[in-house]
Amino acid sequence: MLDTTIPPDLSQSLYEGFEGPEKRLEVYFYENSQDKLGLCNITKEQWQVMLDEAKCTIISSTCNEFVNSYVLSESSLFVYPYKILVKTCGTTTLLFCLQKLIENARLCNTSINYMIFSRKNYNFPDKQLYPHKNFDSEIQYLDGIFSNGNPLTLGPDSTCGDYQLVYFVKNQNNTNSNDLTAEYKTIAPLTRPENGMMDNPTVEILMSELDRDAMSHFYKTEKFTDSKTVTREVGLSDIFPHMLTDEIMFDPCGYSVNAISNANGSYFTVHVTPEPHCSFVSFETNHPNFVEDRLIEKVLQIFRPGRFSIVRSFFGTKLPVLPSQFEGFENLFESSKKFDQQFSYALNLYQSHRLNRFNAG
Q: What's the confidence (pLDDT) of residue 206? A: 97
Residues identified as active-site: 19, 22, 75, 89, 256, 271
Q: What's the confidence (pLDDT) of residue 198? A: 58
What is the domain class of 202-360 according to CATH? alpha beta
State how far the Cα of 193 lies from the Cα of 197, in Å rounded to an integer.
8
Q: What's the confidence (pLDDT) of residue 308? A: 96
Could you tell me which residues are beta bridge partners of residue 344?
314, 338
Model confidence at 194, pLDDT cuts 50, 70, 90, reads very low
Which residue intervals of the chain bear CATH 3.60.90.10? 8-196, 202-360
Least confident of 3-17, 44-58, 119-133, 241-255: 3-17
Instruction: Output the pTM of the full model.
Output: 0.89
CATH number of 8-196: 3.60.90.10
State how far the Cα of 99 lies from the Cα of 54, in Å rounded to an integer.
11
* Measured CA distances, 182 to 96, 140, 145, 191 (Å): 19, 20, 11, 18
State how far the Cα of 20 lies from the Cα of 23, in Å rounded to an integer.
10
Average pLDDT over residues 63-83: 96
Q: What's the confidence (pLDDT) of residue 183? A: 35
Residue 361 has pLDDT above 70, yes or no: no
Could you tell me which residues are beta bridge partners of residue 249?
255
Q: What's the confidence (pLDDT) of residue 159? A: 52
Question: What mean pLDDT value characterizes the chain?
Answer: 86
State how far the Cα of 2 lies from the Cα of 23, in Å rounded to an integer.
26
Contact 20, 278 (CB under 8 A): yes
Q: pLDDT tens, 259-281?
A: 999 999 999 999 999 999 999 99
Q: pLDDT tens, 337-351?
A: 998 878 899 999 999
Q: pLDDT tens, 142-193?
A: 999 999 999 999 998 655 579 999 999 998 554 444 444 333 333 344 444 4
Residue 233 has pLDDT above 80, yes or no: yes
Q: Return the percent helix, strand and coil in the chain, to nearest 5.
A: 25, 35, 40
